[in-house]
Structures are given as structure tokens and as C-alpha cells.
């Protein structure tokens, strides 16, 4: 995958669906915070949650905006 010019943003939407208590929210929190946040205590997420993360591609000056949507099953 490549971009035509430098400095473009690619928007990527990702839905994360799974059974209760499998770690969907914990995984998203760890990804968005670069591993700084990982919940030690379990608290069930009962609604749809959205998170986003900008990933910069240093060699091309492009970036990816990753939008994560967690949906309880």
C-alpha cells in the first residue's frame, strides 16, 4: 500500500466483537496508550465504545488514523 504524495492520512475503521470477558476493552486501551494502560481490575463494558490512535509513518510523513469500535456480543 502506498500514498501518492507525502503527508496524507489513511482512516482505518476496525470493529472488535467478541464474547463477554475476553479482553476487548483491555486490548484497545493497551494499544491506544502504547502499553501504558492495562486494566488490572475487570469492569464489564456494556455499550459500544470508540477509541482512536494516530500512527505516524516516519519514512513517508504519512499517518494512519485507527478507529477502534468495541461491541459487546
Host H or E run for residue 62: strand 62-72
pTM tops 0.95, yes or no: no
Reference 9, options 52, 69, 49, 50; nearest CA is 52
Which tens digit of pLDDT belongs to each residue from 5-21? 556 888 899 998 888 88
The residue-averaged pLDDT of 34-40 equals: 77
The residue-averaged pLDDT of 33-54 equals: 79
- Asked if residues 56 and 63 have their Cβ atoms less than 8 Å apart, the reply is yes
Given a cut of 80, is residue 52 above it in pLDDT? yes
In the chain the domains, ranked by start, together with CATH numbers, are: 9-72 (3.40.50.300)
- pLDDT of 54 reads 92
61 band by pLDDT with thresholds 50, 70 and 90: confident
Amino acid at each position: 500500500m502506498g500514498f501518492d504524495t507525502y503527508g496524507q492520512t489513511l482512516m482505518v475503521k476496525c470493529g472488535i466483537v467478541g464474547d463477554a470477558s475476553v479482553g476487548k476493552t483491555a486490548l484497545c486501551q493497551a494499544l491506544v496508550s502504547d502499553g501504558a494502560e492495562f486494566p488490572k481490575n475487570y469492569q464489564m463494558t456494556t455499550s459500544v465504545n470508540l477509541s482512536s490512535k494516530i500512527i505516524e509513518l516516519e519514512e513517508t510523513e504519512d499517518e494512519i488514523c485507527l478507529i477502534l469500535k468495541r461491541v459487546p456480543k
